[in-house]
Amino acid sequence: MNKIYLDNQATTPLDPAVLDAMMPYLTHKFGNAASRSHAFGWEAEEAVDIAREQVANLISATPQEIIFTSGATESINLALKGSAKTESIKKHIITFKTEHKAVLDICEFLENSGFEVTYLPVNSDGLIDLDKLKLAIREDTFLVSVLHANNEIGVIQPIAEIGEICKNNNLIFHIDAAQSVGKIPIDVEKMNIHLLSFSAHKIYGPKGCGALYLRRKNPRIELTAIIHGGGHEKGFRSGTLAVHNIVGLGKACEISRELMDDESIQISLLRDKLLNGLKSEIPNLRINGSMDNRLAGNLNVCFPSTKSDSIMMSMRDIALSSGSACTSASIQPSHVLKALGLNKEQSHASIRFGIGRFNTETEIEYTIEKVVKTVNRFRKVAV
């Protein structure tokens, strides 16, 4: 058995069709999309326009509402800091304790800049309590930021319901869709989303590229740029466009839109096979997060009386993780699992399995066998 990759929440392999689409723009179609005086620039500009439309189609937006960035983290910075800089009166933001560090760290920055942030708890299954959200809204609240699908536990939040609450209270609604775009349907109009951030490398596209959806009407959302110099992307994000990466993002969005329904079914079957196989041999395992509202490819499991790091180090042929790639160097328990009520020992005994487009049934069968054998071996040693 070759190495098995089961860490698709951290990043995904580049789809071969995406690479094929990118290659011309890494070789002979090398023009600058801002060069308006010759065919090389026109060619690059046309490719960017096509990609912008492909991205917009995936989330039911218009191409004019798509801003290309270096990835979800930059998009989130532009969305939150840009909104805050534009807001002159209201100074209150609402978010949640299970957000990605990209949001939490920006909120901490904004707190140090004179804003007030409410970090709401979640239920033990990871889902948001909508009544608590309603109670947290104040006269000076101007923005709510929510992680659509959690990167550690895969729990999907009720975005349409939250969007309706924001609409009724005239609040800007931002969602971090890094894990959800291309995996589950998103309609920015029907869900009342104003700002949406995501990355290409989570949907089998290239690293170093992402996008921000910025609503243009009903209502029009105003942002202040945080990167200056040249006025690219309608003045919101200056810098020469990485045409090859943008083409790759566009193609990845197009493929995800075409495959989404069938792929979700296929990946769900693999995840359920993995879960059932583990439960049959390790009956006291604990599933972290709701199984009813969850991404198809995510399974986060606690194996009591073990340590996840030891298990993963003993299975070097299987790529797994204990949480977010952005915090993998930390020895602190996962803030997401802590928010669900897990103690330190339970958190350090939890492993995230991330199943993706290119995983096979044979790989899942091998993983079940290897995990069961490894967990039982460590438990015998612990006894």
Catalytic annotation on 107?
Answer: no
- Alpha-carbon distances of 34 from 30, 224, 233, 237, rounded to whole Å: 12, 22, 10, 13
Please give, one letter per residue, the 3-state secondary structure of the chain.
Answer: CCCEECECCCCCCCCHHHHHHHHHHHCCCCCCCCCCCCHHHHHHHHHHHHHHHHHHHHHCCCHHHEEEECCHHHHHHHHHHHHHHHCCCCCEEEEECCCCHHHHHHHHHHHCCCCEEEEECCCCCCCCCHHHHHHHCCCCEEEEEEECECCCCCEECCHHHHHHHHHHCCCEEEEECCCCCCCCCCCCCCCCCCEEEEECCCCCCCCCCEEEEECCCCCCCCCCCCCCCCCCHHHCCCCCCCHHHHHHHHHHHHHHHHHHHHHHHHHHHHHHHHHHHHHHHCCCCEECCCCCCECCCEEEEECCCCCHHHHHHCCCCEECECCCHHHCCCCCCCHHHHHCCCCHHHHCCEEEEECCCCCCHHHHHHHHHHHHHHHHHHHHHHC
Catalytic residue among 107, 209, 302, 326: 326
Q: 121 burial class (0-12, 13-18, 19+ CB within 10 angstroms)?
A: middle
Q: Give me the phi and psi of 215, to 5 degrees please.
A: -60, 135
CA distance 23 to 43: 14
Peptide bond into 158 cis (omega under 30): no
CB 339 within 8 A of CB 97: yes
Q: Residue 221 corresponds to which amino acid?
A: I
Q: List active site positions.
A: 326
